[in-house]
Every structure is written in C-alpha cells, then in structure tokens.
Amino acid sequence: MSPTVIYLIRHAESDHNVTKDFSLRDPGLTDLGFAQASSASPGLPLPSISVILASPLRRTIETTLAMFKPVIGEARLILDPNLQERSNLPCDTGSEVTNLKERFPSSVDFSGLGEGWFAKEGAFTADDQAVAARAKVVRKRLYQLSKEVEGTGKGKSIAVVTHGVFMKFLTEDEGIDLPKAGWRAYTAVADEGGKDGEVEVKLVAVE
C-alpha cells in the first residue's frame, strides 16, 4: 500500500505581507490572497483530501476555506495551535475564540481551541527550542493520521495549511520557501533509531 501523501501548504497573501505592518493583530487575506487560494486548488487532488490540518490564525483559516471549498464538509478540518507561526509579533498572534466564531461559519469547529490558545508562552513560546518541539509534535500527529488514512484503503491524503517560518521547523529544511498559497508533497516516515529508543518522524519530500 502506498504511503499517505501530505500536502504542505503556505497561506496566501495577507495584509501584513503587503503593508509590512507587523503590528496588525491576526491579519486576514488580501483580495489577491483570496484569489491565490482559490486558484491554487486545481493543482491539488482535492477529492483525495480526507483530513485538513490548519493553523488557527485568520489567514490560514481563510486560505483553507477558499482553497478547499469544494471538499469542506467531506474532509475533516482540524485547527491545530501547534501550526501557528513562530514569532510573538501581533501579526503572528491569533484571535480570541469568540472573535473567530463571529468571523467564520459554523462549518469550522473551534472546540479544540481553549481560551487564550494564542498566548506565546509555555509550549508556544517564540523561541527556536519551543517551536522545534511543537513541530516534532505535529510530525508525530501527521504520522498517526497517515496510518489512519492508509487504513481506509481509499487512497486518501492529508493537507496541512501553515506558515512560512514554521514550515522550516516542520520540514527541518531551512531552505524551504514556498510562494504564497504554494504547496509541496511529503510523506511521514518513522525512524525508531531516535534518542533513548524514541520514534522520530521525518517528513520526506515526494519527488
């Protein structure tokens, strides 16, 4: 059985990308950003997507809803705080759950987000060690989801919508720099030779 393909996607153009005003709290997409997200979907095998993992920031949610509009409702959408961007600047700080519920339709499930999920402290501290640790958590989750998807035997895949800097930690590739709304395909591979016998998960690019 072929391994589950994971499509790693960068959010489309957002307001702070254009204005360079990083004091904007949780900015949304520009008009061009919505167009980028909508036009990117023909390059993705949308019918194969069964699970979408997305950062809960506004721009990633908007990218997800525009890009995957044809399959939202059929594919399971999961908002994962571990996918939020690295820095503690206002532009990379998420919104209150109540505000997100007002902005987005009932089709988006915010039940997995606690109040104050966006606080850049503890596991979400804006330093390399903490960001690398949550990237490791995401890789393991993707591996587990991949096995679940493979178990269905239906040739399904997973999409991950996140941010440019966090991608570097998630892929462990400092050189990755996808365009806005760009994507790359990976598989999740487990390596049991980790420290103290711990299983390490790597994302391997699909050529």
> Are 76 and 182 contacting, i.e. CB atoms less than 8 angstroms apart?
no
Question: What tokens appear for 1 in the block?
Answer: 């059985």
Q: What is the pLDDT of residue 197?
A: 63
Using DSSP, state whether 70 is helix, strand or coil: coil
Average pLDDT, the chain: 94
Instruction: Please determine, looking at this structure, whether the domain spanning 6-205 carries the CATH number 3.40.50.1240.
Output: yes
* DSSP-assigned states of every residue in 97-133: HHHHHHHS-TTS--TTPPTTTT--SGGG-SSHHHHHH
Q: Is the pLDDT of residue 49 over 90?
A: yes
Question: What residue ranges do the domains of the chain occupy?
Answer: 6-205
Burial 39-66 (b: 16+ CB within 10 A, else e): ebbeebebebbbbbbbbbbbbbbbbbbb
Please state which of the ranges 26-40, 54-68, 165-179, 180-194 shows the lowest mean pLDDT. Answer: 180-194
Read off the pTM.
Answer: 0.95
Q: What is the pLDDT of residue 137?
A: 97
Residue 114's nearest CA partner among 158, 89, 65, 80 is: 80
Mean pLDDT, range 55-59, rounded to an integer: 98
**E strands present in 35-87:** 49-54, 76-79
Determine the Cα–Cα distance for residues 6 and 195; give it in Å rounded to an integer. 25
Determine the Cα–Cα distance for residues 17 and 119; give it in Å rounded to an integer. 22
